[in-house]
Amino acid sequence: MFRILTLCMSMSLFGLSMSSTLFAAEPLPPAPPQDYALPANPTYVTTTAEFETAFASSGSKDIVLRDGTYANSTYLCAGGSHRVWAEHLGKAVLSFGLCFSTPRCEVHGIKFDVTNDANALNGMVITSWSNGAFLTVTDCWIYGHRACGSWNRDGMG
């Protein structure tokens, strides 16, 4: 389970030698989605139109999707540094992707079920670009049905 690395360094200038052992852990497998606490005083939405309005707004909001399926003919782009939560883990389902271009956005507990790449920016279900650094995606399910690809962007955590 662990690899042992031994580093040897010689410092000939001082006539010293050093040896140290480091332990490098193998990566852990992904953990299944976990329950979480919702933020205080969020904006609750129950329809795609309400979500689109909240998500497109500027500033920073905690947006909670009530249980249900949210459908749209295209992806949505965040207008601000929003944090989006499913009210109950996996019970809010989006049939479209999300894109983020502002820093410190978050997505929690949402199930993405995207069957058409037109519903995702460049075929990507979740996209971070431009200033969208430090996007956090936790406790989510992402189903692209082979219609969508994947993209690893610096800053996603």
Residue 124 covered by a domain: yes
Please give the C-alpha separations between residue 117 and each of 35, 64, 75, 94, 150, in angstroms, as whole numbers: 29, 25, 9, 13, 11
Position 150 pLDDT exceeds 70: no
Half-sphere exposure of 71 (CA within 13 A, CB side): 2
| Cα dihedral 36/132/58/121 (nearest 10) | -90
The predicted-structure confidence for 28-63, as pLDDT tens digits, reads as follows: 787 888 999 999 999 999 999 999 999 999 999 999
pLDDT recorded at residue 23: 55
Q: How far is the C-alpha of 86 from the C-alpha of 108, rounded, in Å? A: 6
Residue 25 covered by a domain: no
**pLDDT bracket for residue 7 (50, 70, 90):** very low
Position 141 pLDDT exceeds 70: yes
**pLDDT bracket for residue 110 (50, 70, 90):** very high
pLDDT recorded at residue 102: 85
* b/e 58-90 (16+ beta carbons within 10 angstroms → b): eeebbbbbbeeebeeeebbbbbbbbbbbbbebe
Structural domain boundaries, residue 109: 38-143
Residue 101 covered by a domain: yes
Residue 122 covered by a domain: yes
The predicted-structure confidence for 117-134, as pLDDT tens digits, reads as follows: 889 888 889 888 766 568
Residue 121 covered by a domain: yes
Residue 89 covered by a domain: yes
pLDDT recorded at residue 144: 84
Residue 113 covered by a domain: yes
CA torsion through residues 64, 69, 70, 74, sign: positive
Helices vs strands, H then E, count in the chain: 1, 14
Question: Count of domains in the chain?
Answer: 1
Q: Which of 81, 84, 104, 109 is nearest to 155 (CA)?
A: 104
| Greatest mean pLDDT range, 21-25, 62-66, 79-83 | 62-66
Q: How far is the C-alpha of 109 from the C-alpha of 32, rounded, in Å? A: 11
Q: Mean of the per-residue pLDDT values for the chain?
A: 81
Under DSSP, the state recorded for 147 is: T
Residue 84 covered by a domain: yes
pLDDT recorded at residue 132: 58
Position 93 pLDDT exceeds 50: yes
The predicted-structure confidence for 8-31, as pLDDT tens digits, reads as follows: 333 333 444 444 445 567 877 878
